[in-house]
């Protein structure tokens, strides 16, 4: 069941916007057994859209068209489709009624142009309750899915409508099982060499690696016609992968590292506080992005200057003058300070040189001290990261959260004390 | 001089890897006046590659093909091109010699297969000194650029070879001027309706809108053959757009809102501190993402619990019990508290209900109080945002920074005090 994606928008072909939605859709379709063989990005140009659409219908078993369904003048997908397929635009009364009702509630009527209600003849609205009018058109037996380009709306349509509907068109059921392992601390090449023998040994198993900085995502996919055999190979593969990657797996599937840390803290009844310098709030922001994090996160401080390290946390001026703000001692005093202030059992502190300036011979750009404080002790370790300012901040935040994860799971404190 | 890009690789159509290099190339080509009208991603499939290449040659004035030039078995671009264009593979002695020399130096011989030296007849190596063998093939008067898919190598080839060479093929020079306005507080549709008459009235001017949540980017592009006229229309259009959008333009071109705020603070010699509750460090993280922000940012606190609001900032327990943590009073005490603690002239405080739970009838999810404290006074305002937890956090952070920008630029304090 091979298909293709046509993504419409001047912003895509001028390179102003990355085509992330097409990539997301391709990935979901691949996992669902409806592989995409071509992704075409074209501008808001009627001739290009028409040519692309007609060629895709001839070539593919299904087509997904994204973008150009909105209310503005450059949104021309419906109009061009009508002309290309010889299907006049028909006023969809249901959408029109929704627009009218919404207009009564909202003064902001420019959002709600009647234009949105004119669809090519034969269009079946995919989500009658939703806001965006994605629709299905079956033309010459080929299902054409017209979806809004806005990532959130596309995602919703794709998962809840398109993929279940595509299964209607599949003659033979293919079973697919997939799991993603989020790995930190090993490069793609290192993972690849660990796995060399795994893939070829298993029927229907494929392993994908893709970097999702600072993590590498490893995906195990098993496809086949026999559901029992697929499940068997899948479980065997997952077990082997878990053994090979060990503690480097920070999370699995949709879960994130910060969610894992939150879950582990809740299990232990522990509460976290944070003191960030060079990461400037990045760890706090990751933690508080999780609904319910108030159950295990008390608060934090961002001590971006020496003065704020003293004033907010009571880091001693002697430590700052003798060892500097970027030091093991300062990191530990920051961790102890915020733990005392917030009255929590756990704290993390991060202080370093994110760059681009501020580096010295002893402490070049990328030098970061991370302190972990638990109910038992406070320990700090020095790390040397490389990359841009932003990359160093991301690596420091990930490392801090990961050290807390390792401590909560295995009782370790950084590499020096980590059991083999 | 319209062209297209063909990107080859299974990882692109399975959605495992984002096609960032094609987007980068499209942007560079657009700016150089060699606009791309189509980007096609296809897998490592000979039939698809051949069909795509032949169609592109018929349709476009130039074609850029990326990927599939490497040494591994799935790299088949050269072989397929030879067959599709009827140009036998010819051994390139220069590349072969380079491979031989490199093999003597390096043990890692798998990277250096002779395969890399077999190019389609007529291929002109683009960078004889470089490592990767990108090449130009002129077929039926159409320049075909075969470039390595590795981002760094593609970038190098594109900027130093392809764009200068494309100018050889351009009979007539096209001048392009472009500016991007980052807009907050107006929807795409609202902006579109403001602009309705602008575009049609000017020769060679096009206006693009694309949402980049929570901002909308508006791009004015002027193209033409007469550089003087292009500059004239461009300046007129930019002036009109600035007038139409007014204070809603938070930044221009590459600059970000947080950079604008930093620049304005530096001009005034002001220093900022932050107190964040529902945004959990998002504002701090945006501020400290900017190199040199230590010149105008002192530090911040993330007071995620009532207790931390009292302990860190001295918000009174009376305020918390009478008005609640999500209140105008609490926001102002947070702003004053952190200002006092950090000893800064300016502070922002944010407290609200990001959801998904925690809302009440009086203060539903999305209720956010933002306080702005300046050397003269402290003022708070209530906002009602909609969307997911993450969207509410982003909107609250953007609004806080934007209110500070407006104050620093125009002396205003929120809507209530804002001059018309």
Burial of B353 (0-12, 13-18, 19+ CB in 10 A): buried
Average of per-residue pLDDT values in chain A: 89
**B 230-259 residues inside an 8 A Cβ radius of A:** none
Residue with tokens 């650029």, as numbered in its chain = B145
Do the chains contact at B208 and A11, CB–CB below 8 Å? yes
Q: Which residues of chain B make contact with A299, given a CB cutoff of 8 A? A: 301-305, 308, 312
- Partner-chain residue, chosen from A48, A284, A303, that has the shortest CB–CB distance to B280: A284
Q: Tell me what percent of the residues of chain A surpass a pLDDT of 70.
A: 94
| B76–chain A nearest CA distance, Å | 16
**Between A38 and A23, residue with greater pLDDT:** A38
The DSSP letter of residue A420 is: -
Could you report the per-residue pLDDT of B100-126, keeping only the tens digit for each?
877 776 554 444 567 788 899 999 999
Whole-number Å distance between alpha carbons of A42 and A65: 11
| A419–chain B nearest CA distance, Å | 34
Q: Does A73 touch chain B (CB under 8 A)?
A: yes
> Which site among B6, B11, B23, B50 would you substitute to test the A interface, given the most A Cβ atoms closer than 10 Å to its Cβ?
B23
In b/e form, how buried is each residue of A206-239, taking b as 16+ CB within 10 angstroms?
ebbbbeeebbbbbbbbbbbeeeeebeebbeebbe
- Partner-chain residue, chosen from A279, A291, A342, that has the shortest CB–CB distance to B389: A291
Tell me how long chain B is. Answer: 420
**A 21-60 residues inside an 8 A Cβ radius of B:** 22-30, 35-43, 45, 48, 52
- Partner-chain residue, chosen from B20, B41, B301, that has the shortest CB–CB distance to A299: B301
For the cut 70, the answer to whether the pLDDT of residue A240 exceeds it is yes
CATH superfamily of A257-417: CinA-like (3.90.950.20)
CA nearest neighbour of B172 among B224, B229, B234, B232:
B224
Please report the pLDDT score of residue B215 as a whole number. Answer: 93
Element at B368 (helix H, strand E)? strand B367-373
CB B341 within 8 A of CB B300: no
Q: Tell me what percent of the residues of chain B surpass a pLDDT of 90.
A: 65
For the cut 70, the answer to whether the pLDDT of residue B217 exceeds it is yes
For the cut 50, the answer to whether the pLDDT of residue A419 exceeds it is no
Whole-number Å distance between alpha carbons of B360 and A159: 31
| B311–chain A nearest CA distance, Å | 7
Q: Does B387 touch chain A (CB under 8 A)?
A: no
For the cut 50, the answer to whether the pLDDT of residue B400 exceeds it is yes
Q: Does B16 touch chain A (CB under 8 A)?
A: yes
Please report the pLDDT score of residue A418 as a whole number. Answer: 45
Q: Does B217 touch chain A (CB under 8 A)?
A: yes
List CB contacts of B61: < 8 A, sequence separation 6 or more: B1, B2, B3, B142, B169
Whole-number Å distance between alpha carbons of A368 and A387: 13
Which parts of A230-366 are beta strand (E)?
249-252, 272-276, 297-303, 346-352
Nearest CA in chain A to B49: A38
Give the mean model confidence (pLDDT) for residues A107-117: 65
Q: Does B287 touch chain A (CB under 8 A)?
A: yes
**A 363-382 residues inside an 8 A Cβ radius of B:** none
- The ranges assigned to domains in chain A are 3-169, 175-252, 257-417
Do the chains contact at A281 and B299, CB–CB below 8 Å? no
For the cut 50, the answer to whether the pLDDT of residue B332 exceeds it is yes
| A416–chain B nearest CA distance, Å | 30
The DSSP letter of residue B17 is: S
In b/e form, how buried is each residue of A104-136, taking b as 16+ CB within 10 angstroms?
eeeeeebbbbebbbbbbeebebbbeebebbbbb
For the cut 50, the answer to whether the pLDDT of residue B404 exceeds it is yes
CATH superfamily of A3-169: MoaB/Mog-like domain (3.40.980.10)
Do the chains contact at B14 and A27, CB–CB below 8 Å? yes
Whole-number Å distance between alpha carbons of A312 and B337: 11
| B308–chain A nearest CA distance, Å | 6
Confidence label for A415 from pLDDT (cuts 50, 70 and 90): confident
Do the chains contact at A299 and B285, CB–CB below 8 Å? no
* CATH node for B175-252: 3.30.70.2860
Nearest CA in chain B to A274: B302
Structure tokens at B388: 């997911």
The three-point CA angle A210-A211-A213 to 5° equals 155
Residue with tokens 């944010």, as numbered in its chain = B350
For the cut 70, the answer to whether the pLDDT of residue B53 exceeds it is yes
- Describe chain B by its helix, strand, coil percentages, rounded to 5: 45, 25, 30
| B5–chain A nearest CA distance, Å | 9
Strand partners, A42: A8, B38
Q: Which residues of chain A make contact with B35, given a CB cutoff of 8 A? A: 13-14
Nearest CA in chain A to B292: A357
| A307–chain B nearest CA distance, Å | 8
Please report the pLDDT score of residue A17 as a whole number. Answer: 77
Could you report the per-residue pLDDT of B354-382, keeping only the tens digit for each?
999 999 999 999 999 999 999 999 999 99
Q: pTM here?
A: 0.80
Q: Does B303 touch chain A (CB under 8 A)?
A: yes
Which parts of B102-247 are beta strand (E)?
118-120, 124-125, 135-139, 142-147, 175-183, 205-212, 215-224
Do the chains contact at A289 and B192, CB–CB below 8 Å? no
Whole-number Å distance between alpha carbons of A303 and A193: 42
Please report the pLDDT score of residue A237 as a whole number. Answer: 93
Please report the pLDDT score of residue B58 as a whole number. Answer: 95
For the cut 60, the answer to whether the pLDDT of residue B282 exceeds it is yes
Comparing A115-129, A192-206, B284-298, the range with the smallest average pLDDT is: A192-206
Give the mean model confidence (pLDDT) for residues B260-264: 98
Comparing A396-405, B124-133, B374-383, the range with the smallest average pLDDT is: B124-133
User: What are the distances in angstroms from CA B411 to CA A158, A327, B374?
Assistant: 47, 41, 10
Please report the pLDDT score of residue B416 as a whole number. Answer: 57
Nearest CA in chain A to B393: A289
Nearest CA in chain A to B29: A14
Do the chains contact at A312 and B293, CB–CB below 8 Å? no
Rg (CA), chain A: 27
Q: Which residues of chain B make contact with A29, given a CB cutoff of 8 A? A: 15
Do the chains contact at A285 and B288, CB–CB below 8 Å? no
- Partner-chain residue, chosen from B37, B280, B291, that has the shortest CB–CB distance to A43: B37
> Which site among B19, B26, B27, B41 would you substitute to test the A interface, given the most A Cβ atoms closer than 10 Å to its Cβ?
B41
List CB contacts of B384: < 8 A, sequence separation 6 or more: B364, B366, B367, B368
The alpha carbon torsion through A400, A406, A407, A410 (nearest 10 deg) reads -170
Confidence label for B417 from pLDDT (cuts 50, 70 and 90): very low
CB B26 within 8 A of CB A15: yes
Nearest CA in chain A to B344: A308
- Cα of B290 vs its chain's centroid, Å: 15
Burial of A11 (0-12, 13-18, 19+ CB in 10 A): buried
User: What are the distances in angstroms from CA A131 to CA A123, A280, B88?
Assistant: 16, 37, 55
The DSSP letter of residue A415 is: G
Q: Does A307 touch chain B (CB under 8 A)?
A: yes
Q: Does A10 touch chain B (CB under 8 A)?
A: yes
Whole-number Å distance between alpha carbons of A292 and A319: 37
CB B343 within 8 A of CB B272: no
Structure tokens at B237: 């259009």
Q: Which residues of chain A make contact with B393, given a CB cutoff of 8 A? A: 288-289
Comparing B25-34, B142-151, B234-243, the range with the smallest average pLDDT is: B25-34
> Which site among A281, A312, A358 would you substitute to test the B interface, given the most B Cβ atoms closer than 10 Å to its Cβ?
A281
**Identical fold, A175-252 and A257-417:** no
Give the mean model confidence (pLDDT) for residues A131-145: 89
Q: Does B293 touch chain A (CB under 8 A)?
A: yes
For the cut 80, the answer to whether the pLDDT of residue B96 exceeds it is yes
φ, ψ of residue B84 in degrees (nearest 5): -65, -35
**B 396-415 residues inside an 8 A Cβ radius of A:** none
Comparing A266-280, A349-363, B190-204, the range with the smallest average pLDDT is: B190-204
Comparing A103-107, B77-81, B84-88, the range with the smallest average pLDDT is: A103-107
> Which site among B299, B310, B347 would you substitute to test the A interface, given the most A Cβ atoms closer than 10 Å to its Cβ?
B299
- Partner-chain residue, chosen from B14, B38, B301, that has the shortest CB–CB distance to A41: B38
Task: Work out whether the CA dihedral A250, A254, A255, A258 comes out positive or negative.
Answer: positive
Nearest CA in chain A to B6: A40
Confidence label for B316 from pLDDT (cuts 50, 70 and 90): very high
Confidence label for A173 from pLDDT (cuts 50, 70 and 90): confident
Do the chains contact at A36 and B14, CB–CB below 8 Å? yes
Give the mean model confidence (pLDDT) for residues A309-313: 92
For the cut 70, the answer to whether the pLDDT of residue A118 exceeds it is yes
**Between A323 and B420, residue with greater pLDDT:** A323
């Amino acid at each position: 069941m091979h298909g293709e994606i046509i993504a419409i928008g001047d912003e895509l072909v001028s390179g102003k916007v990355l085509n992330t939605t097409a990539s997301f859709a391709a990935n979901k379709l691949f996992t669902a057994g409806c592989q995409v063989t071509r992704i075409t990005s074209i501008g808001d140009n009627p001739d290009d859209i028409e040519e692309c659409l007609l060629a895709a219908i001839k070539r593919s078993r299904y087509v997904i068209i994204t973008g150009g369904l909105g209310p503005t003048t450059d949104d021309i997908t419906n109009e061009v489709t009508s002309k290309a397929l010889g299907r006049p635009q028909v006023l969809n009364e249901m959408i029109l009624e929704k627009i009218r009702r919404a207009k009564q509630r909202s003064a902001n009527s420019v959002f709600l142009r009647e234009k949105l209600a004119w669809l090519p003849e034969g269009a079946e609205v995919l989500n009658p309750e939703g806001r965006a009018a994605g629709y299905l058109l079956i033309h010459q037996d080929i299902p054409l899915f017209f979806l809004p380009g806005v990532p959130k709306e596309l995602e919703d349509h794709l998962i809840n409508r398109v993929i279940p509907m595509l299964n209607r068109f599949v003659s033979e059921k293919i079973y697919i099982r997939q799991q993603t392992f989020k790995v930190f601390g090993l490069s793609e090449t290192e993972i690849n060499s660990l796995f060399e023998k795994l893939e070829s040994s298993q029927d229907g198993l494929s392993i994908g690696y893709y970097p999702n900085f600072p993590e590498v995502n490893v995906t195990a996919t098993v496809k086949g016609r026999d559901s029992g055999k697929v499940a068997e190979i899948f479980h065997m593969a997952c077990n082997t992968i878990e053994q090979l990657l060990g503690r480097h797996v920070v999370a699995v599937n949709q879960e994130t590292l910060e969610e894992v840390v939150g879950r582990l803290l809740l299990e232990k009844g522990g509460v976290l506080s944070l003191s960030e310098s060079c990461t400037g709030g990045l760890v706090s922001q990751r933690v508080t992005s999780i609904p319910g994090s108030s159950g295990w996160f008390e608060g934090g401080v961002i001590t971006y200057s020496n003065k704020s390290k003293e004033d907010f946390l009571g880091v001693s001026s002697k430590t700052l003058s003798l060892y500097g703000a970027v030091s093991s001692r300062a990191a530990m005093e920051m961790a102890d300070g915020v733990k005392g202030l917030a009255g929590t059992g756990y704290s993390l502190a991060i202080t370093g040189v994110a760059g681009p300036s501020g580096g010295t011979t002893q402490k070049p750009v990328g030098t970061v001290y991370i302190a972990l404080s638990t109910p038992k002790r406070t320990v700090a370790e020095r790390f040397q990261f490389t990359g841009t300012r932003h990359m160093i901040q991301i690596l420091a935040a990930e490392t801090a959260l990961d050290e807390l994860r390792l401590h909560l799971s295995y009782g370790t404190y950084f590499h020096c004390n980590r059991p083999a």
